[in-house]
Chain A
Amino acid sequence: MCGIAGLIHRGKSSNVGSELQGMLQALKHRGEDSTGYALYGDTDGKNFIMRFKVGENVGEGSSSIMEDVSVYDERKKIVDQTLAEMGAKVVKEERTLPYSLRYELDYNVKDLLEFSQRIESIPGVEILSMGKSLEVIKDLGNAKMVCDRYSLDKVVGTHAIGHARMATESGVDIKSAHPFWGYPFSDVSVVHNGQLTNYWNNRRVLENKGMRFMSECDSELIAVYIAEKMRDGATLEEGMKASLTGLDGVFTYFVATKDSLGMAKDTMAAKPLVLYESDDLVAMGSEEIAIRSVLPQEIDTYDPFDGEVKVWQI
């Protein structure tokens, strides 16, 4: 089933980590195999923030294979070495969990594609996000568990999107969890509720064009599809509108960039979305109770119609 939620504050920052946690926790009955956050925090914009993993969560419910922590350490060493070879200086390093790391990089990246390909050529290593504002944090469990594990409740920023997942077509693991980074674009992330039926056809076409897939989760296609459109010069909104016909199946999805948040709904309106919009805040989710967690007072909400695409700026 899955649940998605997102919000964007216009003209100000807020405690988006805590707000999104509340929204996703309200949707936990839609799935709690894994939960993911894409948070656009307040930064000085100088350094890149790279969230990456060197292994999987092999806790209860995981479909991943158990690995020794020493394997993670070895992978981390190779990542550090590769970064040094590329001239990237690690300004700050955080290792929240043995398999999950956050680096702040002082690096003048000319081509994120080449950079990402080098890092991800290390077996078992996946970049979850790369950007100057975006941080993708995803792990097994419900919203509160993931929020507590990564101390996300204090993150301040302008906007965020998130996903509560009920795994149906791929494994219960971090690599299949949402949000997906819009590889190789800085600060682009996607969450999706639904099912795409032309995943393999599109994947073959996009892989032939040099795009990368890290999982077999159909939702990853949306991030790659839009990234490819943007690579060819389309705006975010143009890419999203193209997806209404380019993607087959049922979907409601959100895309976020450094300064915007967008939603798209398939032409059959088969997946739910409730939207609240005011001058200073847009909040949306699969169910109204998600919005109620940040706006408990009586408000006007509505369902976007079939084939609708909307984009908001901060």
Chain B
Amino acid sequence: MANLKTVSKKSKAQSMGMHTEILTGRTQQKFFNPDEAENFYYFGTYDVDFNKRTDLDVKDMTAPEANKEIDNLMSQGYGTIVIKNPQGKHSLGVGILNKLNLIFEGSLGYFGMGSCDGPIVRINGRVGWSCAENLMAGKVVIEKNAGSCFGAAIRGGDLICKGSVGARTGIDMKGGTIIIGGDAGAFTGFMMQRGRIIILGDVGINLGDSMYDGTIFVGGEIGSYGSDAVDAELTKSDQDWLKRKLKVAEIGENFDVSKMKKIVAGKKLWNYDNLEPTEKKGAI
């Protein structure tokens, strides 16, 4: 990484991988400022100890009760919490803005791990629709399959499903990495704006439909390309990154990344620089 103290503000962000393109037109460019790092911590978070571990049986709890108890345990300094009997309940583990090692011994329903920032999560089961929606940072690993809208609108972090996922994976994602060990359904990467999706298996129709930016890597067959999704050259740098990412994710470590397809936005749909109709009339 470049020395952040000496490089210009613009290249600082790019050196850290915050941008892959220069935005133009009326889009406002906002860059990460390392001097403001303290603003990235939340009020009310807990100082937890990962070696302090406890179990929580949520069989007879509602989701709000379970989530409040997780918060209560974090306030007592527990840094590793094992959730027993989630039994497909919805909205478990949402809104955790804390460092935490969270393990679910079973499957989750809809909206599991939504709006989180920071926790390391392992789900020894399946997840329903919209798992880890709006994830900001951290890592969520699902050992089995996942439903549709997996990783919708995530901003950062790593989201890993070792099985197959439903439709619209990574819809509207704005950063982060989604890794799928199996197959993915239709409209994967729909309207994604930044970030990376890796699918080791096959993917359904309309891949990357209306994507603005970001990158999708596919190891298997592609059902069809969506509007403005185009092939790109898989570079040596891409392959190195893929190998590293798959190894860290403990998934497909021996996968032959050199045969993967790389899909990016054709950027033909971009019209930020176009005047709106009323402005055009005014200009005439």
Residue of B88, B90, B185 touching A305 (CB-CB under 8 A): B185
Residues on B with C-beta less than 8 A from A272 are 128-129, 147-148
Q: Which of B221-254 contact A (CB under 8 A)?
A: none
Name the segment of A67-75, A178-186, A288-296 touching the other chain: A288-296
Looking at the assembled complex, report how far the CB atom of A24 sits from the nearest CB atom of chain B, in whole angstroms. Answer: 15
* B95: Cβ under 8 A from any A Cβ: no
Looking at the assembled complex, report how far the CB atom of B216 sits from the nearest CB atom of chain A, in whole angstroms. Answer: 17
Give the interface residue-count category, chain A: 20 to 34
Give the interface SS of chain B, mostly helix, strand, loop or mixed: loop
- Nearest CB to that of B163 among chain A residues? A302
* A274: Cβ under 8 A from any B Cβ: yes
Contact with A along B171-190 (1 / 0, CB 8 A): 00000000000010111000
> Given the complex of chains A and B, what is the CA–CA distance between A129 and B73 in angstroms?
54
> Given the complex of chains A and B, what is the CA–CA distance between A302 and B126 in angstroms?
8
A287 and B110 in contact, given A268-B167, A272-B147 (Cβ under 8 angstroms): yes
Let me know if A306 and B204 touch, CB within 8 A. Answer: yes
Residue of A267, A300, A307 touching B126 (CB-CB under 8 A): A300
Let me know if B186 and A303 touch, CB within 8 A. Answer: no
Let me know if B166 and A288 touch, CB within 8 A. Answer: no
Residue of A268, A292, A302 touching B87 (CB-CB under 8 A): A292
Give the interface residue-count category, chain B: 20 to 34
* B205: Cβ under 8 A from any A Cβ: yes
> Given the complex of chains A and B, what is the CA–CA distance between A291 and B107 in angstroms?
12
Looking at the assembled complex, report how far the CB atom of A3 sits from the nearest CB atom of chain B, in whole angstroms. Answer: 12
> Given the complex of chains A and B, what is the CA–CA distance between A197 and B110 in angstroms?
27
> Given the complex of chains A and B, what is the CA–CA distance between A270 and B190 in angstroms?
13
> Given the complex of chains A and B, what is the CA–CA distance between A298 and B129 in angstroms?
18
> Given the complex of chains A and B, what is the CA–CA distance between A300 and B147 in angstroms?
13
Looking at the assembled complex, report how far the CB atom of B226 sits from the nearest CB atom of chain A, in whole angstroms. Answer: 12
14 A-B pairs within 8 Å (CB atoms) are namely A269-B185, A272-B128, A272-B129, A274-B147, A287-B90, A288-B109, A300-B144, A303-B165, A303-B185, A305-B166, A305-B183, A305-B186, A305-B204, A306-B186
**Chain A to chain B: the 8 pairs with minimum beta-carbon distance, closest first:** A288-B88, A269-B167, A303-B166, A306-B186, A302-B145, A289-B88, A292-B88, A305-B185
